[in-house]
Amino acid sequence: MLIDVALPLSLAFIMFSLGYGLTFADFGRVLTMPRAVLVGIILQVVAVPAVAFIALFLVDLPPALAFGVMLLSFCPGGVTSNILTKLAGGTVALSITLTAIVSLLSVLTVPVLVAWAAAHFLGEAAPQIDVTSIAISMFAITAVPVVLGLLVRFVARSFAERTEQTVSTVAVFLFVVIVAAALATNWQLFIDNIGTLGPVLIGLNAVLLILGVLVARALGLSGGDGLCISIEMGVQNAALGIAVAGLVAQTGGIPEFAVPAGLYGITMYFVTIPGMFVLRMIFGKA
């Protein structure tokens, strides 16, 4: 099917756009702001899935959708989190660093977590999970494009700076197409469960935004760092969630596991954009 080729290629371009906006100095910030980076990584990799897992105890979702929510929670921050962090007055340098590092770490963390979640939520109905195969596929469609984008910017910096906006625009367009395809392919499932799934995702988003700021504040990080970490937690890479769902299903097309990521790819902006300004007014930037 066309979607089986278009989906991974589209995600690869989205990840290329992420690398296209990076420099090697972005990774070096781990040494200049280690506490903020470490807190952000732990919250993204550990706290986001934990909050999603707890949320699923409070609602009754079909196993496939519950598994899809967990898939989404395993994904790194979205490629637009850097823009939202800037709009909110957060620490943009930290946002860029966290997005880059957690995106690369996801090649290792996501396959293992997916195998666990499939066994827990799908039981005997779970497809055969090949952790190594998923890791290799994720490496090919996420890590490799990021590194390629980074290298292109390093070798041809002036060209990259001139074309970065165009590349970002194409990436956003592809993201919208991926989300629309995920929902359209599973439209009836989406309609049947929107009343339950929608509030779960909106509530999850709101809790993650608040948790990020509160933990950062409790650990003595600046308000700007807290806003950044909050947005990194609340804005997930929905396109990656949809792609991973396809890798897990191994049946071609976009499976029902992708519906939560597809819906979240829409709702997260309606929650995060007003939410980040509210958090800024409450906690400030200092």
Q: For residue range 219-260, list pLDDT tens digits in order.
A: 988 888 999 999 999 999 888 888 888 888 876 667 888 899
Q: pLDDT band for 188, please (50, 70, 90 cuts).
A: confident
pLDDT at 200 over 90: yes
CB atoms within 10 A of CB 165: 9
Amino acid of residue 97: T
Backbone angles phi, psi at 236, to 5 degrees: -95, 155
Q: For residue range 15-54, list pLDDT tens digits in order.
A: 888 888 878 877 777 777 889 999 999 999 999 999 999 9
Amino acid of residue 11: L
Positive or negative: CA dihedral 246, 252, 255, 261: positive
Contact 165, 36 (CB under 8 A): no
Contact 67, 117 (CB under 8 A): yes
Tokens 């890798």, residue? 247
Three-state secondary-structure class, residue 282: helix
If you compute the radius of gyration of the chain from its CA atoms, what whole number of angstroms results? 18
CB atoms within 10 A of CB 239: 28
Contact 77, 237 (CB under 8 A): yes
Cα distance from N-terminal residue to C-terminal residue, the chain: 52
pLDDT at 176 over 80: yes
Q: pLDDT band for 4, please (50, 70, 90 cuts).
A: low
Q: Sketch out the chain's domains with CATH numbers.
A: 2-278 (1.20.1530.20)
pLDDT at 78 over 80: no
Cα distance between residue 71 and residue 49, in whole Å = 9
Cα distance between residue 138 and residue 264, in whole Å = 21
Contact 186, 263 (CB under 8 A): no
Tokens encoding 260: 């939560």
**pLDDT value at residue 286:** 46
What burial class does residue 72 get, using C-beta atoms within 10 Å of its C-beta: 0-12 exposed, 13-18 middle, 19+ buried?
A: buried
**pLDDT value at residue 283:** 65
Contact 85, 216 (CB under 8 A): no
Cα distance between residue 254 and residue 7, in whole Å = 9
Q: For residue range 56-74, list pLDDT tens digits in order.
A: 998 888 999 999 999 999 9
**pLDDT value at residue 207:** 95
Cα distance between residue 246 and residue 9, in whole Å = 13
Q: For residue range 80-126, list pLDDT tens digits in order.
A: 888 888 888 888 888 888 888 898 899 999 999 999 999 999 888 77
* Closest residue by Cα to residue 198 from 176, 213, 183, 178: 183
Cα distance between residue 198 and residue 211, in whole Å = 20
